[in-house]
Chain A
Amino acid sequence: MGAFDWQVVWASLPYLAQGLGFTVQLTAVALAGGLVLGTLLALARISGPRPLALAAAAYVNIMRSVPLVMVILWFFLVIPMLTGRPLGTEASALVTFTAFEAAYYGEIIRAGIQSIPRGQVDAARALGLTRAQATIHVVLPQAVRNMAPVLLTQTIILFQDTSLVHAIGAKDLLKAAEIAGKNYNRPVEMYVFVAAVYFAICLALSLLVRRLRRASGTAAPA
């Protein structure tokens, strides 16, 4: 076992921070976009007209059964074909992850909404609330509380999955470490360091999930 040289990690920190910046940006964009699109998908599946509900279900099921790496490759290939001009790896990654996460968030949101007993809506309607008011003031607040831990867990998975932009060469934290490791001829230290960074962030977030679960009284997932 050769001696480790952690100096190279120290020297590459600014460069690695740039990569981490993109990883965080990608996670944030996919989270925000995925939640919005996911909500639309969930509503389409629950109360949309039949063709729309079927289309939403097909979209969700296809996205969830294809390996993410293949989805990333597909988007990188197809988007330029549709728009007629090349799209950078970073932009392609942002679009792909938003579209991909929408399928997963959509299913979580759908389950959350469907976990609210029908009587809640009936009671709200009997009290004179409109359908929209019942959804906004009665169903969604309870649904969000039920969903929060699962949504956060999915976001941890998303944060880890962003590393797969490696397949199209977008420069995230992992790619930055790979490049720095090659430049200094010190891949081992770089990979260990990057693993530690991912581990620390994900462990902190998953401890937060556990606290949320305890606070909301929902048991660990099956």
Chain B
Amino acid sequence: MGKTVLVIAEQKDQKLRQVSLEALAAARQLAGDGGNIVSVLVGGHVDAAAEQLADHDQSQVVCVAADTLASYDAERYFAAVQPVVDEVKPDVVILGHTASGRDLAPKIACHLDAGQVSDVVAIEGTGAEVTFKRPIYAGKAFETKRFLAGPWVVTIRPNNLQADAKTGAAAPIVKRPYADPAPIRTQVVNVQSKSGDTRDLTEAKVVVSGGRGVRSAEGFAPLAELAELLDGALGASRAACDAGYCDYSLQIGQTGKVVTPDVYIACGISGAIQHLAGMSQSKLIIAINKDGEAPIFDIADYGVVGDLFEIIPKLTAKLREKIAAVRS
């Protein structure tokens, strides 16, 4: 017997987020033979993302759109999905473990009086034997979990599961009306886009990260230039954030963000255990540090003992030349 799975999909800038396709693939695995998948999309304008989603095989795509849903707000978004949850009566609800997914999922789990497994990086098995692997201690260890009773609520970490590929389906799109719940107790009164902070650190394929060795806010400039050239994101160690060189939103570590890019370039970072927890699952690690004894070299695939202010600009120049040569 298959399961009924509800995917709470997400969009950004009116495009379907990649993690929602990963959630859809997970839904397919959990639904099993004879299962049933419904997606729901909430936002200000969701038509474009809904079309994209409906191209993937499923029972229906439910859209809840309203001007008051343009910006994520827990109270309103829950009010938008709750009627869908109640109607679909899902065996499983899947969300991305994103800023909004991790915020909304516990409300849905509580509403269903359900257990939840958060931040899942792998799903193994099918049917009742399914297990979910997730990091604990920011990836210093991994635990495997199993549900003892339904319904199930699961959030999946972006960039870890395969995205759904069952396209060309034209699933029906169903629009649902939305009205604010009364009373509304939280209100987003202002939204400001952070300038120069375009790429999400946790989704970047390349991260250039600076530590105490960067020595100042200005010292981050060559790192930012390298990150930009590689279409990557800028990160930092706790020491650099505490010293005021950069914003806490850049911090990578057990406090801060956990990143798993293709390439992680650690500049002037000694490699405290709390930092390593946040980046040691990166595919390739490059470390640049003056201190040849720094612990970061114990986990780096390639190490350079030297002055980052000499190496980084030279590296950026070389890369620029080589990239230009390829493109010409």
Whether chain B is bound by chain A comes out as: no
Interface residues of A (CB under 8 A from B): none
Interface residues of B (CB under 8 A from A): none
